[in-house]
Amino acid sequence: MDQKAANTDLALRTRATRVIPGGMWGHQNAARLPKGYPQYFSRAEGCRTWDADGREYIDFICGWGPTILGYNDVDVEAAAADQRARGDAMNGPSERLVELAELLVETVPHADWAMFSKNGTDATTACVTIARAGTGRRKVLVARGAYHGAIPWCTPSVAGVTEEDRAHLIQYDYNDAASLEAAVDQAGNDLAAILVSAFKHDLGKEHALPTRAFATRARALADLTGAALIVDDVRAGFRLHMGGSWELVGVRPDLAAWSKAIANGYALAAVTGNDRFREAATKIFTTGSFWTAAVSMAAAVATIEKLKKTGGIDTMVAMGQRLRDGIDRQASRHGLAVRQSGPVQMPVILFDDDADRRLGNAFCLELLARGVYMHPTHTMFLCAAHTVADIDQTLAASDEALATVARL
């Protein structure tokens, strides 16, 4: 086998099945997608990705969220390269740590302080731990179906998880103040935290922004009980509002978890918090081998500054709206009932009467064949590198894709 043949998607998958359990773990296992999606990628630039077989896509997954300015952004890469030349994972942090914490405190209204780690799961777990340390209580309220990470207390799987890992979680329904109140009652005087997603973005379900009534009630219940209000902004952070997603509804959390987009693809997570939880944050022991690495922090500083300077969110909203309006027009012309929900820059596209995902999967496969990478059930992500031309090229593909779906 020559080297090139050895690197095709099929060849890589075949090799991987021997040395990687199941070929790939987690949500990035292409076996979870309709048959026909690539598993391996070779390159990415702007809003485009190339799979291992060299096929080019306009990308609406953006690395599952981390890419917010575009892949390989020149300013982020320059900042990262500059820091890499000085040092990355050293015996302690570089000045970038302080710079980035200052920038977050300046940018995020609820934040009096910030701490850093690597993955969103690190950040959501730290928020819960800080809330428990600060309140001396155990119960944490989580919305049914919400995703907060992939370790035993929060993973969607039950394999390897014990009941005890989740002993102190109580469920409520997102955007349902009455169910939240019932959960608060159930926690009694042992309530440590109310954990909320930035918006309802459950897999395969219609997405929904928090209602003002729900968000306000969550804040009031936390205040009333002395519990922490935690916003999991890992997925939505800096895509909806530079100050944190719940600024949209005028509610400030005590603690927030961030990751995905904050360093435009570099591995970084953050917890921001207010002064009420500052001392608790000093008491927990939290650390990781790579958590003070400086390159990702330099990338984050450059990412946040560029998003602010260039109005990155406005661009994503404008492009997301253009995409949504276009697909709505096409769907009605083709006589298809398509439900597009979530913020336009973080959409999910679902078809009516499609419990078996036949229509949604076919739509995505038709798009894929035309050089557009979308997902049939997961939150999608626009980035600030999507242009009018990219959206219009996508719409040309979606018009043909919907025509095919309409004939099914």
Ligand X SMILES: *Cc1c(COP(=O)(O)O)cnc(C)c1O
Instruction: Give strand pairing partners of 59.
Output: 373
Residue 148 is a binding residue for ligand X (CB under 6 A): yes
- Smallest distance from ligand X to CB 239, Å: 11
- Residues 364 and 132: their CA atoms lie apart, in Å, by 43
Q: Which of 134, 149, 265, 343 binds ligand X (CB under 6 A)?
A: 149
Residue 121 is a binding residue for ligand X (CB under 6 A): yes
Q: Which of 124, 292, 296, 398 binds ligand X (CB under 6 A)?
A: 124
Number of residues lying near ligand X (CB under 6 A): 13
Token representation of residue 196 = 């909320």
Residue 235 is a binding residue for ligand X (CB under 6 A): yes
Count other Cβ atoms within 10 Å, centred on residue 179. Answer: 17
**How far apart, in Å, do the first and last CA atoms of the chain sit?**
40
In 3D space, the residue among 343, 198, 184, 306 whose CA is nearest the CA of residue 257 turns out to be 198
Residue 197 is a binding residue for ligand X (CB under 6 A): yes
- Residues 190 and 167: their CA atoms lie apart, in Å, by 13
- Smallest distance from ligand X to CB 257, Å: 7
- Smallest distance from ligand X to CB 288, Å: 12
Nearer to ligand X, 70 or 149 (CB): 149
In contact, 226 and 135? CB cutoff 8 Å: yes
Nearer to ligand X, 199 or 363 (CB): 199
Residue 361 is a binding residue for ligand X (CB under 6 A): no
- Smallest distance from ligand X to CB 222, Å: 19
Residue 270 is a binding residue for ligand X (CB under 6 A): no
Nearer to ligand X, 122 or 354 (CB): 122
Residue 62 is a binding residue for ligand X (CB under 6 A): no
Pairing type for strands 56-59 and 372-373 reads: parallel
CA distances from 206 to 124, 229, 339, 340 (A): 23, 24, 8, 8
CA distances from 246 to 93, 113, 254, 396, 397 (A): 30, 18, 12, 35, 34
- Smallest distance from ligand X to CB 381, Å: 10
- Residues 192 and 313: their CA atoms lie apart, in Å, by 33
CA distances from 351 to 34, 116, 337 (A): 16, 39, 6
Residue 127 is a binding residue for ligand X (CB under 6 A): no
- Smallest distance from ligand X to CB 197, Å: 6
Residue 272 is a binding residue for ligand X (CB under 6 A): no
Residue 147 is a binding residue for ligand X (CB under 6 A): yes
Which residue pairs, CB below 8 angstroms and at least 24 apart, start in 349-353?
Answer: 349/374, 349/376, 349/380, 350/204, 350/206, 350/377, 351/405
Residue 246 is a binding residue for ligand X (CB under 6 A): no
Contacting ligand X within 282-301 (CB under 6 A): none
Residue 120 is a binding residue for ligand X (CB under 6 A): yes
Residue 119 is a binding residue for ligand X (CB under 6 A): yes
Which residues of the chain form contacts with ligand X (CB under 6 A)?
A: 119-121, 124, 147-149, 197, 232, 234-235, 259-260
